[in-house]
Structure 1
Amino acid sequence: MGPSSLFRLLLLSPIFHLTVSTELRKFVSRPNVVKKNWDKTLKECEKKNNSHLVTLHNCYDLKMIQDMVSNTFYLGVYLGLHEKTNPSEWSNGEKMTNWTTDGNVTHEQRCVAIHNKRWSNHPCHEKMYFMCYNATAYQLIEQKKDWCEARLYCRKHYKDLVSINNNTQNEEALRRGANRTFWIGLKHDNYQWEDGQCSTFRVIEADRGDRKCSFNGGEQFMTLDSCINGRGVICMQGDTRITVPTDPLTWEEAYDYCKENHDGLLFIRDQDEQSEVKKWLDVTGVPGPVWLGLRQSRAFGFWFWSTIDQVVDFINWRDGPPELPLSYHCGAIDGRGTWSDVKCQTKLPALCIEDMYSTTD
């Protein structure tokens, strides 16, 4: 695990530098911008590279926006959720025109599973098995995930969630499903996030006006409203988000879990990223310590980020970098944002990172 001995030596060489394009997500307030309608707010965010209207993945994201709105924007801010024209589609983008959902769906998401050998729709946030496909076969994954988590897993390890376009494919899915209940790749949603992200988080308190765009007014929910009202601007930058803490794991278990289910353990490369992680810890109330991707070379003593095989440059140690032979060899962060070395066999929650724009090949 971690870089080879040769690669460790290369990392120490002044002529070797590893660059990573991944940028940790942050929410950027634009308090001096005149309040705008949804379209103009979108364009305001697009002026900045890699910037979008905000997508919410969980209650922590909502709390972050709620705090920013309450402190700055008395008329609230637009979010990235808005009405779409083709509600039913497969995960790979193909449209589905003859599928109907149960009841009169408004802002709710409904995703399709095979249950008792028949298609049925369910709230997308439910966790169940799912079926992926690649160029040659279907594969039932016996891990329980919500629909978006399942899609991300399939795109990371296979091709995508399975699409079914004829009776032959349906029979093959049933055969591979072995009488289990599992997600397939069909989703119905009257709304979509502007940047194309998949999120099953949907806490909407009420509908207003023509209900085409979402905003937050500092409350613990989203509201669907007209797109023409003047609201403040908060933009989202970066392509990688922090996931919720795992159950307690050893460092090695955390490394394997984050690599298998997400995109690795969290790493922090500069003061900006350190500040964003601290904000996230403040909002979530995680007391720490929680695992980071920090690991120490037992042979050479330097600390490196295991997720990206990069020697630590920026540091935020509690008492300076722990040194051999007295140091422990794995790194964690506490609720104040301070790093410390911890015995690797200690069981702690872990913070993973996830590429928010994972797509099929």
Structure 2
Amino acid sequence: MTSLTVVPAPLSALAPVSSRHFIFVYELKTQEEARSYCRQHYTDLATVENMEDVLTLNEMVDRSRLQLLKPPDGFLNGTWIGLYDDVNTWSWSLSDPTYYSEGQENYRNWAPGRPNNIRANQFCVWMYQSGQWEDYECTYRLQAICVNLTGSSETFVLTTASFTWEEAQQYCRQHHTDLASVKNATQNSQIAALIPTNSAWIGLNRQRWRWLDGNNSTFSFWKTLQPDNYETLEHCVVADFESGGRWADSNCDKMRPFICYGWAVKKYKIKLQLNTTIANLNDPVVMEQLLQQIALRVGRANATDLLKLSWVKDANGNVFNKTTTP
């Protein structure tokens, strides 16, 4: 068998370092357009994790350039950052997937015009005596509907005491199985019949404000009386540098400047020596497969998805130069 000793195989590696940096973009875009731009050119729209980030942004911003921008609506009240309110993340407190048949997790019986997230803080759901549902502030105190599960049997129970939604969830899990899920119209009528007056909590709730890049930071820096979800259309967030970088919710379709973030990188050149029987290592398909294998090994060793690898070609357009040995 012939062994091919390949030398050299130059590889370029861009490796991220720990320095995260912000980039102000003084162009007017919707939040979705800004997000796309940041992801194409950098990493994502900016995540603001702490007061140090706030101070950095206040030092970086060119307020004179902001003042020159003229949005179509005539108001430049902020700069997009990566925080948003995902209004479609409704889920049940009882999360066991085996409890639901196909489509049952998605049963809804909203009252007309609901959910509307008035004042941008309605993340929990109650049921009226009529059987219709409304989103509301989770801190409101109400009776709650719990469920007891025994095998395939389920029994709904109305609490005698009133709770916030989170207190109700804790109580139902401690004394029963969980807050009640509503899987179909029959169950909805069954639960509604238990509600003596007005309304009671059920197990539907949704996530609060989230960062586009998946960061789980809970830091917030809202302006007074914000967020307010004005006209129930404000699901994205701007930083207002006329107010020290404090945040306000805004309609995602508004045209605003924006802030991206990226990571500083270091470039390395590596020479590899491979012993192989593959006849043509300069075949683009072969080179891509090798690159994927190397990236997988290096990425696993360094626990990063941000490493970028590419081959370095010589003057003849080749990466590999081979010598044959017996």
**Which category describes the TM-score, using the shorter chain as reference length?**
0.3 to 0.5
Q: Which has more radius of gyration? A: 2
Q: Which has the higher strand share?
A: 2
Give TM-score, length-normalised by structure 2.
Answer: 0.39
Higher relative contact order (CA 8 A, sep 6+): 2
TM normalised by structure 1 equals 0.36
